[in-house]
Structure 1
Amino acid sequence: MKLTLLPELALFVHVVDQGSFSAVARQTGATPSAVSRSVSRLEQEMGCKLLHRTTRKLRLSDTGEKVYEHALEMLAAARQAIDSAGSRQAVAQGKLTLSVPKAVGRFVIHPLMLEFFNRYPQVDVCLRLEDRVLDLIDDGIDLALRITHTPSPGLYGKPLMPVHHAICATPEYLQRHGCPQTPQDLREHSCITLGETPADSRWKFRRDGKTETVQTRGRYAANHTAVRLDAVKQHLGIGSLPLFTAREALASGEIVPVLPEWEFISSYSGQLWLLWSGNKHMPARMRAMIDYLSEKMKPA
C-alpha cells in the first residue's frame, strides 16, 4: 500500500469511530461526499470492501474489521511518537452536539452550561432539545440524554439521576377548591395535563401495591413542562410535573404536592441516562462533558 494513503487510513478510523460520513465531515470541515471518496480510494487501493453502507448505518466488513484494528495500532503509535516529543496534549476542543429532552434541557442541562464553557473555553455545544428519540449516527449526535428504565442495547452510558413525577397546586388553589384526599377526588378538580393523546388525561397512581387510574378533566393542557409549571403557579389547577422542574417552587412553598403519599406513574419517569455510541478513542470534548455532568449531577 502506498504511504500516501496513510491520511485516508486515519480518516477511515475516524469514520468508523463516529459511525457516519456526515459526522466526520462536520468535524473536519470537509463534505460528506469527500469523506466517502477518501474511503473509496482506500478500498480501491486495497482491492477489498471495508465498509458496508446503508441509508442509516455503516458496518465494517470482515476485512474492514482487521484493517481497522491495524489502523488503530498505527494511530496509537503515531500518537505516542507525538506525545513523546511533548508537542501534543489532549485538549478538549471542537463542537459537541447533545440530544436532550425539552424539560431536561431547560431545567437541568442549560443551567450548567455557563460553568462548562468557563472550564472548557475551546468547546462549543449544540443542544438539540427534542422529546423524540434521535439516532446518534444519522442525526450527528455525540451524546444523548434519555429518560428510560432500559437504555438501547449497543450504546454505552451511565445513569445521572432518577426522574420522578408529582402532581402539584398552589396553596391558594387548594384553599378555594379543596385538597384531594384520594386519586378519585381529582375528578372534581381542574387538572393541567400534557394534552398530546387522550391517555395523557388518565392519571395513574400506585400505593402499597395498589394501582388506581383516574380520568381527569380540565380547561388547560400544554405539552411543555415550563408552561404547565407556570399554569400551576397561576392557580389554574392541579398539574402533573417532573419533580426536577417543580423542586424550586416546592422548596419555596409557592406550590405544594398533592396526594404525596401516592406515587404518580408516568412514561416520563425512570433514570436519566447519558448515552454515546462508541467507547474507543473518545474525543476529549466528549470525555469532558461526561465527567462534568457526572460531577454536577451526582447525589448530594
Structure 2
Amino acid sequence: MAVSAAQSDKVDISGSLRVAAPKALSKQVLMPMILEFTEQNPKVSLQLKVTDHLIDPIGDEVDIFIHITEKPIEGLISKHLGHCRLILCASPSYLESFGQPSHPEDLVDHNCLCLGESPRDRVWSFRQGNQSVPVNVKGSLTVNHSEIRREAVTQGQGISIFPDFAISSHLESNEVVELLQNWQVTGKYQGDIIAQYAQSKYITSQLRAFIDFLTACFDS
C-alpha cells in the first residue's frame, strides 16, 4: 500500500518521531510504509515501538500510536486510516479430512488453534443479526503469534482466526478458505485502524508529514 510522493516541491522535514503500533500490524502492514517514509525523509529520526499493550502517548513518550479498535481513546486526536475484520479460516486439506463447520457450535468438534493471551481467547464469539453465539473451543496448538498459527493452518493442522491483513493473500491464493461467512467473528484485534496523538496547538512538521503519508498509503 506504500505510495511515492513527489520530492521536488516537498518541504525538507527533519526531527525525531516516536511511533508505537501493534506487532502484527507493524510487520505485515506498516513496515513497508515506514521504510518508504524514512527513505523519503532521511532527516527524520523515526523510532518505532512495537507493542500490543495499550499506549499512553504522553506517559509512554511516543508522538503517535496506531492501533485497531472499535473505541478510540477519548481525549486524543484520532485519524482514521482503515478497517480490519476478523476472519475464521482453514486449509482445503483440513476441510477435506474433517469437514466444514456450518454453524459456530460445530467448532467444538474441530481442532481450533487459539491465541492464548488470556483464558477468554478460548471462547470464540460470533454474531448474526441479533443472535450472538459464544463457543468454547480446544485445539492442539496455542500461540500468540499470527504467522506461526497461519503456518499451522496452511499446513492443514486446524482452524484459526486472523485479522484480515494477516490472511488476505492466502485467501486469494486459495491456501485457506474463509469459514462461516454468514457470521461475524467478534472480539479484539478488529475494528478501525486509527492513529492517535495528544492534542496540542502545535503539531511538528514530521508528525504532520507522517500522518499525511500514512493516510495516502491506506487510501491507495
Fold conserved (TM > 0.5)? yes
Alpha-carbon distance in 1 for matches of 2:72, 2:47: 22
Residue 158 of structure 2: aligned partner: 237
RMSD across aligned positions (CA): 1.5
Alpha-carbon distance in 2 for matches of 1:113, 1:249: 24
Alpha-carbon distance in 1 for matches of 2:170, 2:200: 39
Q: Verify the 8 A CA contact 1:92 1:283 in the aligned structure 2.
A: no
Number of residues of Structure 1 aligned to a counterpart in Structure 2: 211
Q: Structure 2 residue aligned with 1:112, among 18, 33, 37?
A: 33
Partner amino acid for 2:139?
G
Task: Please report how far the alpha carbon of residue 231 of structure 1 lies from its aligned counterpart in structure 2 after TM superposition.
Answer: 1.7
In the alignment, is residue 163 of structure 1 matched against residue 163 of structure 2?
Answer: no
Alpha-carbon distance in 1 for matches of 2:127, 2:101: 16
Residue 199 of structure 1: aligned partner: 120
Residue 103 of structure 2: aligned partner: 182
In the alignment, is residue 273 of structure 1 matched against residue 194 of structure 2?
Answer: yes
Task: Please report how far the alpha carbon of residue 142 of structure 1 lies from its aligned counterpart in structure 2 after TM superposition.
Answer: 0.8
Alpha-carbon distance in 1 for matches of 2:152, 2:99: 18
Alpha-carbon distance in 2 for matches of 1:286, 1:204: 38
Instruction: Choose between structure 1 and 2: higher helix proportion.
Output: 1
Residue aligned with 2:135, SS: strand
Superposition TM-score, scaled by structure 2 size: 0.91
In the alignment, is residue 121 of structure 1 matched against residue 37 of structure 2?
Answer: no
Instruction: Choose between structure 1 and 2: higher strand proportion.
Output: 2
Gaps of 5+ in 1: 1-88
- Range with bigger deviation, 146-155 or 160-169: 146-155
In the alignment, is residue 154 of structure 1 matched against residue 154 of structure 2?
Answer: no
Superposition TM-score, scaled by structure 1 size: 0.67
Q: Verify the 8 A CA contact 1:160 1:271 in the aligned structure 2.
A: yes
Task: Please report how far the alpha carbon of residue 116 of structure 1 lies from its aligned counterpart in structure 2 after TM superposition.
Answer: 1.3
Residue 142 of structure 1: aligned partner: 63
Task: Please report how far the alpha carbon of residue 90 of structure 1 lies from its aligned counterpart in structure 2 after TM superposition.
Answer: 5.3
Q: How does 1:8-87 map to 2 (within 5 A)?
A: none
Alpha-carbon distance in 2 for matches of 1:178, 1:156: 47
Partner amino acid for 1:266?
G
* Structure 1 segments (4+ residues) deviating >3 Å: none
Residue aligned with 2:61, SS: coil
User: Identity of aligned pairs, percent?
Assistant: 34
Change in Cα spacing, 1:120 to 1:287, as seen in structure 2 (3 Å) is: same
Task: Please report how far the alpha carbon of residue 118 of structure 1 lies from its aligned counterpart in structure 2 after TM superposition.
Answer: 2.6
Alpha-carbon distance in 2 for matches of 1:119, 1:249: 31
Alpha-carbon distance in 2 for matches of 1:176, 1:124: 52
Task: Please report how far the alpha carbon of residue 147 of structure 1 lies from its aligned counterpart in structure 2 after TM superposition.
Answer: 1.7
The structure whose Rg is larger is: 1
Residue aligned with 1:191, SS: coil
Alpha-carbon distance in 2 for matches of 1:291, 1:131: 24
Task: Please report how far the alpha carbon of residue 278 of structure 1 lies from its aligned counterpart in structure 2 after TM superposition.
Answer: 2.9
Alpha-carbon distance in 2 for matches of 1:162, 1:278: 23
Task: Please report how far the alpha carbon of residue 199 of structure 1 lies from its aligned counterpart in structure 2 after TM superposition.
Answer: 1.2
Partner amino acid for 1:243?
D
Q: How does 1:202-281 map to 2 (within 5 A)?
A: 202-281=123-202
Partner amino acid for 1:175?
E
Gaps of 5+ in 2: 1-9
Change in Cα spacing, 1:253 to 1:218, as seen in structure 2 (3 Å) is: same
Alpha-carbon distance in 1 for matches of 2:118, 2:78: 31
